[in-house]
Each structure stands twice: as structure tokens, then as C-alpha cells.
A and B are shown apart, each in its own frame.
Chain A
């Protein structure tokens, strides 16, 4: 039995927008994360996969406790188990959040390399993070510590005195990872950390993240649409479709025997070098999250739709020998 570091219970995170026109106003709810429950184990690499608009970025934001208008937590909880204390992150105020961010939980947002402050040197951005937790610091000592830390990412010492624009995309992304790991957090959350990077740099970044996870003995949650990246580094993966988790399990099991028709398609339709056999898409398109289909959200596109799929939400079914593989599909429920 693995030690659990966080649990997400029945989470509903919606974007609630007010639509105004001259004559009327209405509320629109985009159900980006809808009744999601998930456990995160200590010291694992958990991959969250799915297409754009499936809610994976919203889920990771909620796990970080970064709730900004119009994102609203409608229901559910995210609880961390840190050094014997339980922490419900969605109930914390800004001050409490800033105490645990970077120190216990770090987040690398999507496109993080463009979030570096363009007019401040890299070392100043490190000082900001360190000082927000430890107050005034000895800057000379801190610089040595920063240089040692970025050296692990293969970055030369000149980087600390550089401005972001002097660095390439891959170097900026490594700076962002260095910032996220400098205070040795227990959990690192990374949203699409390799998007917009070249393949060689992508590999470097993925390997760096998994190296940091091992060295810091921490937990890494990585969101990416690139299912092959998950195959390379994740221990366990979760597949999302239209705001719901449709399947979760160890990466080996999911790739060996994907159960949900959507997962099966995602994996089997991947083109591979050396294999020219015909691949096809799934007919139809991902549903609107304002009015998701009743029953199973995948049913309008599923080749195996039963009557029950159109009306009842599929329950999560445990499968596999160690009961760690879950699928939400009527085909597997009795």
C-alpha cells in the first residue's frame, strides 16, 4: 500500500461567466472539472492526459489552490497530508497559501517560461522566492546556493546575472524548474512543461523533471496532451475526457491494456515511426462543457454505445490484479 500525499474528493471546478447583453444577462457554467476524485501517492510521477479542453489544466490549478475568477470551486475538496497534518488547500486564504507555495507545493504553469519577469535578473527572481519564505537572506550565500542548484539543470553560472531575454526557450524552462524546486517542495505540479519546445529540449526537460523528483524524493504531477511523454516518465496515468476521469492506472497496464474506448483509441491511433498501418480519428468532436451529453460524456462518439450509456453516468470500476486500475465505462460494470 502506497502512502498517499494528497486526495481529491468529488471536485467540481467550474468557470462561471456572466453573459451580458442589452436586454438580459445570464450565467454560463463551463464544467471544466466535474466530480473528479483522485489520490496522489507520495514519491510517484502521476501523469494527467487528455485533449485540449478536457479540464486537465483546470484540475492541476485546483490541486495547487490557484482559484481565480471566473474559476469557482462548486463542490469537493483537495486535501494534502504533509508531515502528519492534513491541509485542505481550497479553504486557505492567500497568506496561508503563500506560505506553502514553493515550499511544500510548487507549480509550473503552462507557458511558464514567458512568466519570468523580463526586467529583473534571474538571481533576483530567485531572491523573491527565497525571501518570501525566509525573510532577509545573505545574498552572497544565496547566490552560491542558486548557482549550485542551477548547475544540476546543466545551466552555467552566468545565467544568474542574465535577463530572461538572453536565454533560449529551453534554458528559460530550466530556470523555471529551478525556481520551482529551489525550496525542495514535496509536490511539483507541472502543466504542459514541454509544449512549444523542440524534441531534444523536450527530452531534456522531461528527464530533468524526473531527476528532480527522485533527488528531492518528492511527487511530480505532470499534465501533458502528449501521451508518449507519459509513457516515458510517468508511473501512473489518469486519462480525462470532457471534465471527467475516464481511466486511471499504472502506465504499464494502461499501455498494455487500455480499457476505456477513448483511451484505447488515443493509444492505438498514435502514429509511430516504422509503422504505416492506417490510423483513424474518432468521429464527432469533443463535447461542449457548457452542456455536456447526458450519461457517459463519450457516448456520442463511442463505437460501443449501449442504451444505458445515454442516460446513466458510468460508475468507476476497479479492474486488474492490484485494484489500482480504474475505468469509468458501462462496458465493464455489471
Chain B
């Protein structure tokens, strides 16, 4: 996919994925099959323009694999990921440290993000010292307390407590605070609220919004939930079976969707209003289809508009005003 949104040329690229593809082998060498979890994906985040970008998709869309590639945790089969112009899989020394400081993850399950045998405050102080953002214990405490305040906690609140002594919501706040210790430029948050109680969820989402507004942190928000994605993001990339099929401002994409898949997702999202119920019955597919390896458009066999071309040729990515759509309906 070509660079998608109009961007001022002067702004430097911070994190960029170019033609990133990730193929997993399943099963043995002889009888095994291939699964393309991420398929030729391009993404760009610019410096000096804090944004929330949502990656949305159903399970198996490749959104989590893509987030792990962007964090440098797994190396893609093909393509390049660069941070400040350097390939993140070739970083060494100070540059690698800089990348690790400036691009921080937030995980779905906060209980897995912390060492269960370590007190949370010790862990946070250790993080500050390890990343060398504090020279001594005193400075580390100051730094940790400051980041905890940002998420609505304080060092006093968490003193001497182990992870199991926290509620899920509190511990997720603490894990956001942990990510903030190094003052990152980018946070990559994979389903950060899907395990949080509904009554606490929006507070965590609001912390992400505050981060963008007050600390100029860009956030890649990975979720299956279109409603929170709409609430929190500026831009959105909709993924299907490893490919980005629609990309643009969240306002445009979610209120005036173009791709038939985005439309399907929005139609199936239950509206919290008994007066606005689904009218038609949705048809579920009968048998499993290997859409990952489809020759043409992977959505073709679920698409109401599919033509024979859709089954044979991969659709091109078309730019329509400020968004990109990968669909033959819009290709001339």
C-alpha cells in the first residue's frame, strides 16, 4: 500500500513499516502449510504529530502479529521496519536503547506484564534505573511517582504491593505508568482494555487520550472493538486476514465505510439501542475456507459484490480523497 495520508514533507518519519509480510509455517516440513499472518503492510507514524492509530480486525486478522513486529519482538519474513530511518532489526548499542525507550508496549493482560514475585513499586523503580532515566533511587522515585500520577495513582498507593493485590484496572494503570517511565514517543497497546471491567474501561481509554494530548505520545491501539476505536483514534486501519483493507481518518472510515468488509463489521456491531435492532439475518459461512492463501481478494467469498476478477486477482490499493481502500469496486 502506498503512503496513505497526505503528510507535510517536512515532518520526519518516526516509525515506518514498508511491505511487511510475516509467513508462519504450520506443521512439519513436508506436510506443513504456510500461513501469511501479515501480508504486505505499510504504516507510517510521523514525528511531531501525535496521533492515535487503531488497528482493528477480527481474530486472525494479523493485528497482534503486526504489533509484535513493530515492537521488534519478531522479525518479518519480508519487508522493513524503520525507526528514525534505521532498520529496527539491525539496531545496536545506543540506537537500540533509544528504540526500546521510545517505543513501549502495553499488553492485554496486566497480570502477565508484571513479575508476580516482585513488588510492583520495586519493578517500576528498577525500570527507571535500567533504562537509565534515573541515576539513583531518589531520582527514580521522583520519576515513577510522576508517571503514576499521570495515570491516577501514586507511589504511596502501590508501595509494597504485589501484582495480585491490585485490581485489573489498577494494575493496567500501573502498567501504563511503567511504559511512561522512559517518556516514549510511541505506545503500542494490544487490547489494553479487553480484560478490564466495563465500569473502569473508559478511564483507561481516557488515559490514552490524555497521553496524546498532554505528552505528545503517539499510540497504536490494537483492538477488535470498533466503538472504543472510534472514541479514541484519529486514524484507523481495518485489517482482514493479514492485509489492511481500508485506512483513513476514523471519522471517514467508520461513519462512511467504503470497503464491503468494513461495512459488514459496522452492520454487525450491536447498537446499544433496543429501537435500532438488526433487521436481516446474517448468514454464517458453512465451511472453513483458506482465505489466507487466496489468490484474489481474501474477502471475496464473503463479499456480496464479488465478481470473478475478485477471486483471481489481488485488489489494488486505491486512494480516495484521504483514505485508502483495497477493493476492486473502487479501481478503475
Contacts and interface: CB of A to CB of B under 8 A. Distances in A.
Interface of A: 51-53, 154-156, 158, 166-168, 170-171, 174, 198-204, 206-207, 211, 225-229, 231-234, 251-252, 255, 262, 265-267, 269-274, 276, 278-282, 285-286, 301
B194 to A, nearest CB: 10
Contacts of B265: 199-200
Interface of B: 58-59, 167, 169-170, 197-206, 224, 226-228, 230-231, 254-255, 264-266, 268-275, 277-278, 281-288
Nearest to A205: B284
Contacts of B197: 51-53, 285-286
Contact of B230 (A203, A227, A266, A274): A274
B201 A273 contact: no
Contacts of B230: 271-274, 276
A98 B227 CA distance: 42
A188 B65 CA distance: 38
Given A207-B282, A229-B270, A285 B167 contact: yes
Given A51-B197, A226-B270, A280 B206 contact: yes
A207 B271 contact: no
A231 B268 CA distance: 13
Contacts of B231: 271, 276, 279
B199 A266 contact: yes
A200 B264 contact: yes
Contacts of B282: 200, 203-204, 207
A322 B59 CA distance: 44
Given A154-B284, A266-B198, A251 B266 contact: no
A198 B272 contact: no
Contacts of B228: 271
Contacts of A269: 198-199, 202
A262 B201 CA distance: 14
Q: Which interface residue of B268, B272, B282, B285 has the most chain A CB atoms within 10 A?
A: B272
B286 to A, nearest CB: 5
B253 to A, nearest CB: 10
A285 B170 contact: yes
B274 to A, nearest CB: 5
A203 B202 contact: no
B256 to A, nearest CB: 11
Nearest to A241: B199
B203 A280 contact: yes
Nearest to B284: A204
A326 to B, nearest CB: 18
Contacts of B167: 285-286
A203 B58 contact: no
A105 to B, nearest CB: 26
Nearest first, the 7 closest Cβ-Cβ pairs linking A and B are A281-B203, A198-B58, A228-B270, A228-B272, A271-B231, A204-B284, A203-B268
A231 B274 contact: yes
